[in-house]
Structure 1
Amino acid sequence: MHHRRPGAQGNPLRRDADRTRARLHAAFMLACLLAVICGAAVGRSAWTDAGRAAAEIARHRNSVTAVTVGETTYRVGSAPSTRPVPVAPATWRDTSHRVHTETVPVPAATRNGETIRLWVDDQGNATTAPPGRAHIALNAISLGTGASAGIVLAAGAIVRARLCIVDARSGRAWASEWASVEPGWSGRLRPGQDSGDD
């Protein structure tokens, strides 16, 4: 004897618009899952590439001890909103024992004659420190989050537009069906119908 599963025929009150809405919501959830996967892949790729680049940069930079030979002043940044950077003239020897003198960024309130740690390139010129793990991680997280957010926002906009279309069609269908049912259900006469008409 064949037993029919409950719900095998579907809910008779469930309309095509309801099924379309359910499919759109499922598609959006799938897009969110895809966004997480893509964001993780982008973040991992950014972490790997930036780590490799940072290791290459670190191979060509060294930390040396420098001595300030003047008072600390402040250098204004290129953009109006940039905070002034404390700088001072300093002298140091590179790995080939050549002497260099240059105005370099220093901690605030550094006095004349103080020693500071300085990053230099292969030619012994002052440069910035190689990117650290925290900077690389922050960049990877930002890129991964941005990729995920972009996918979610795009999917949300498409689903929302489709839902608006479905809702508009559903509203028109309800209005049409109600116009054909309501006069008989309420007893109100249709236009052109006499009271003796069935």
Structure 2
Amino acid sequence: MTSNPRTRPTRPWRRSLLRALGTERNELARPEDRGRSRAWLLTAVATGLALLLGGTAAWSDFDSAEHRAAAAASRLHHLEAVLLTPARPTTDDTTTLAAKYRATATWTYPVEQSHTGTVEINHRANANSTIGLWVGDTGQLATAPPSTADLVSDAVSLGLSLLGCLLVLIAGGLGLRLSSLNRRTGAAWQHAWAETEPLWSGRATQRPGTGDPRLG
């Protein structure tokens, strides 16, 4: 006695993919069903491309910013300065991590060329304490080059912003397409029901003036 091999059920994602590609063997599949599958397939592809673009933009931004930071750092010099006055807070609130302090400091750069100026630090310090600061080739105070963490944070923010914008556009396009397909499905159903309802209810077989469909 021979037995027919069992047909393995098609997984939902595979069925949707076959339907989107137009290769599904299903006589009950409507054009709108294939349209929905294609819409979801295109959404998945577009989302993958958006992730790729977001990652590429983030990496490109980090790479260019790193080169700019390296070029700027090559013209800067890190050295120690001596505080001439105690560091005093710039605001009344000194409980936050962002609290800043100012003091007068002196440093030497280039060799035997002394400079004096007001420096800003992020902690309390007494006079004659030493602090680190950045200066240019002439010995003037300069802004510290951005750290790698700052560069990564900026690049990630840029990538996520671009990804978010693209996902909003993708979601909007998907919503519009599904809405259009839903309207077409509703219109097709109403048209089919208008043709089927008289037969289903028996009104098509009723004699004029009678209410019994069995009276032919």
TM-score normalised by L of structure 1? 0.83
- Equivalent of residue 79 in structure 2, options 64, 81, 85: 64
Alignment of 1:28-177 (within 5 A): 28-75=43-90, 84-177=99-192
Amino acid of the structure 1 residue aligned with 2:175? R
SS in 1 for 2:115: strand
Q: Which residue of 2 aligns with 1:18?
A: 33
SS in 2 for 1:175: helix
Structure 1 stretches of 4+ with a deviation exceeding 6 A read none
Q: How far does residue 177 in structure 1 lie from its aligned partner after superposition?
A: 1.3
| CA 1:132–1:166: 2 relative to 1, 3 Å | same
The number of equivalent residue pairs is 185
CA contact (8 A) 2:57 2:159 kept: yes
Which whole-Å CA distance do the structure 2 matches of 1:116 and 1:9 have between them?
72
Amino acid of the structure 2 residue aligned with 1:171? G
1:149-190 Cα offsets, whole Å, 9 max, x none, are 222221111111111111112112112211221232133579
Shifted more, 13-22 versus 145-154: the winner is: 145-154
Which whole-Å CA distance do the structure 2 matches of 1:110 and 1:193 have between them?
104
Q: Which runs of 5+ in 2 are unaligned?
A: 1-17, 92-97
Indicate whether 1:185 and 2:178 are aligned.
no
Shifted more, 126-135 versus 180-189: the winner is: 180-189
Which whole-Å CA distance do the structure 2 matches of 1:56 and 1:106 have between them?
25
| CA 1:165–1:178: 2 relative to 1, 3 Å | same
Q: How far does residue 84 in structure 1 lie from its aligned partner after superposition?
A: 5.0
Which whole-Å CA distance do the structure 2 matches of 1:12 and 1:193 have between them?
37
Q: Which runs of 5+ in 1 are unaligned?
A: 1-6, 77-82
